[in-house]
């Protein structure tokens, strides 16, 4: 039992030593870690600002129930929730999307353009949010409003009812929704730091050369009786070389 406890204690000591060794190895290269982290931030900023096109989001909101619809029971509320799911599908059908594409001369394939449209039903509500993402903020707002208008007409035709009401018209967004400069810089800095730290540790642990008396005891299992500085060794070699020449 005592031997088992001793072995466990030795393992804990070795793990602690290894963690301390990792810390010291990285600390000795902290200048390199800092430099690569800064380089990662700079690279992310350059790519984000110069090579990624900003995207803008504009959102319009419609109320899915018409003016003549009355909600008098829980069943009516449940029907309204079911209609919201149906209307989400109608919002991105070709009958709605292709009409708007024709109005604004958009020549992209339907499959590509519909990916820029997001129709959501906020929880516990009878409203639909039509969000359009586009590099042009003005066009994003115009497309969102046009889709909402065309969607209302399509809903009225399919459901044979009055057109739903508009709750909010989309406005021109002032700031892009993506990319996020702060997020990109943070992710890139973390990646550069982790990659540099990994390379440093791999090089350290792959290096099996003995550098000091601690390495002698650790890898060879023997203790050193004395240590001779390299300056003395070089001086001895040079002096012995000079004697040989004489």
Give pLDDT, residue 200.
92
- Cβ atoms of 46 and 188 within 8 Å: the answer is no
Give pLDDT, residue 216.
62
Q: Where are the domains of the chain?
A: 2-50+180-225, 56-168
Give pLDDT, residue 8.
57
List, for residues 186-208, the tens digit of each pLDDT value. Answer: 999 999 999 999 999 888 878 76
Burial environment of residue 129 by CB neighbours within 10 A (0 to 12, 13 to 18, 19 or more): buried
Give pLDDT, residue 18.
73
Per-residue DSSP letter, 68:
T
Which of 117, 155, 120 has its CA nearest to residue 139? 117
- Below-70 pLDDT ranges, the chain: 1-17, 65-82, 208, 210-246
List, for residues 125-140, the tens digit of each pLDDT value. Answer: 788 999 999 999 999 9
Give pLDDT, residue 237.
60
Whether CATH 3.30.1890.10 fits 56-168:
yes
Rounded Cα gap, residues 225 and 236, in angstroms? 20
Q: Where are the beta strands (DSSP E) in the chain?
A: 56-63, 117-120, 127-134, 165-168
């Amino acid at each position: 039992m005592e031997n088992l406890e001793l072995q466990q204690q030795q393992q804990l000591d070795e793990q602690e030593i290894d963690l301390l060794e990792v810390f010291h190895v990285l600390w000795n290269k902290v200048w390199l870690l800092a430099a690569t982290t800064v380089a990662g931030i700079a690279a992310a900023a350059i790519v984000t600002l110069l090579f990624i096109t900003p995207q803008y989001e504009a959102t319009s909101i419609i109320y899915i129930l018409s003016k003549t619809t009355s909600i008098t029971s829980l069943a009516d509320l449940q029907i309204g929730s079911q209609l919201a799911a149906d209307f989400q599908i109608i919002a991105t059908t070709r009958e709605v999307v292709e009409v708007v594409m024709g109005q604004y001369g958009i020549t992209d394939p339907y499959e590509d353009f519909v990916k820029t449209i997001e129709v959501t039903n906020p929880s516990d509500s009878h409203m639909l949010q039509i969000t359009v993402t586009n590099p042009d903020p003005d066009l994003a707002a115009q497309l969102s409003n046009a889709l909402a208008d065309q969607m209302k007409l399509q809903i009225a035709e399919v459901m044979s009812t009055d057109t739903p009401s508009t709750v909010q018209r989309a406005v021109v967004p002032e700031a892009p929704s993506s990319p996020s400069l702060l997020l990109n810089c943070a992710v890139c800095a973390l990646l550069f730091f982790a990659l540099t730290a990994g390379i440093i540790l791999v090089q350290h642990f792959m290096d099996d050369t003995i550098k000091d008396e601690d390495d002698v005891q650790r890898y060879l299992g023997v203790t050193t009786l004395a240590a001779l500085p390299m300056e003395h060794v070089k001086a001895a070699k040079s002096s012995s070389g000079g004697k040989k020449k004489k």
